[in-house]
Amino acid sequence: MSPRFDPAALSLYHVTDPQLSRPRSVPEVARLAVEGGASMIQVRAKDASGRELLELLEAVVSAVDGAAPVVVDDRVECHLAARARGIACDGVHIGQSDLPPEDARRLCGPEAIIGLSAASQDEIAAAAALPAGTVDYLGIGAVRATATKPDAPQPLGIDGFARARALSALPAVAIGGIRPEDVAGLMAAGADGVAVVSGICAAADPRLAAQTYRREIQR
């Protein structure tokens, strides 16, 4: 487990989406999100090549400028290449089809923040059974059906999230189509925070959208 990781960073976790951000750039939206209260950024660009993702990661780290941890989706190699270039990438978020978490931890070292997506009871139980310190947090979802992740499994709903979340003692962020009105229920269900994609980057004003989520979290 990363000694640098504070689960409070999960409270408002923005996941980037290049398409939904248009015509704004991903780094611009990430900066606005952080100004509005986002506490962590995951650079996700499913259609990007390794080179494009590394460039995007560098641009987001620069735009966020240390105000929130930045992790990269899926590609451990982009985290490693960024670090080797001296870019302050804080870690990687891996899904069930990415490199296994033990391999990711071995490659990234103890300092990196490593998050893992988990949806089913089996996936959460498997994550809970990993050696201590392998992953820093879980991303549990999808809470609601979402267009930004077409391969996502059946939505859990808030009750389903509560049941899933109870299966692991790891810090957990809820993800998937979360609206501001869902936040209170998710926090009551044991979420350490909410991950928001389109709710921020498809908003007319991403900073205002982040502020709206942030207000709900702080209730």
* Span 181-210, contacts to a second copy by CB under 8 A: none
User: Binding of a second copy at residue 76 (CB under 8 A)?
Assistant: yes
User: Binding of a second copy at residue 111 (CB under 8 A)?
Assistant: no
User: Binding of a second copy at residue 110 (CB under 8 A)?
Assistant: no
Shortest Cβ distance from residue 58 to a second copy (Å)? 11
One residue of 8, 50, 109, 133 binding a second copy per CB under 8 A: 50
The smaller minimum CB distance to a second copy, of residues 50 and 153, is found at 50
Cis, peptide link before residue 142, omega less than 30° from 0: yes
Structure tokens at 178: 């979360």
Q: Which helix (H) or strand (E) holds 41?
A: strand 40-43
Shortest Cβ distance from residue 169 to a second copy (Å)? 25
**Letter string b/e over residues 54-89, b meaning 16 or more CB atoms within 10 A of that residue's CB:** bebbbbbbebbeeebbbbbbbbbebbbbbbeeebeb
Q: Are 173 and 140 in contact (CB under 8 A)?
A: yes
User: Binding of a second copy at residue 99 (CB under 8 A)?
Assistant: yes
User: Binding of a second copy at residue 122 (CB under 8 A)?
Assistant: no
Sign of CA dihedral 50, 110, 124, 70: negative
One residue of 8, 19, 22, 51 binding a second copy per CB under 8 A: 51
Pairing of strands 91-94, 70-73: parallel
End-to-end Cα spacing for the chain: 29
Q: Specify the stretch interacting with a second copy by CB under 8 A; choose among 95-103, 164-172, 189-197, 206-214.
A: 95-103
Helix (H, G, I), strand (E, B) or coil at 196: strand
Annotated binding-site residue? 183: no
Q: Specify the stretch interacting with a second copy by CB under 8 A; choose among 8-16, 39-47, 103-111, 172-180.
A: 103-111
DSSP string, 92-158: EEE-TTSS-HHHHHHHH-TTSEEEEEE-SHHHHHHHHTSPTTS-SEEEEE-SS--TT-TT--S--HH
User: Binding of a second copy at residue 89 (CB under 8 A)?
Assistant: no
Shortest Cβ distance from residue 215 to a second copy (Å)? 38
User: Binding of a second copy at residue 106 (CB under 8 A)?
Assistant: yes
Residues in the site for a second copy, rule: CB under 8 A?
Answer: 49-52, 54, 74-78, 80-81, 84-85, 96-100, 103-104, 106-107
Summarize the annotated binding site for Mg(2+) as residue ranges: 74, 98
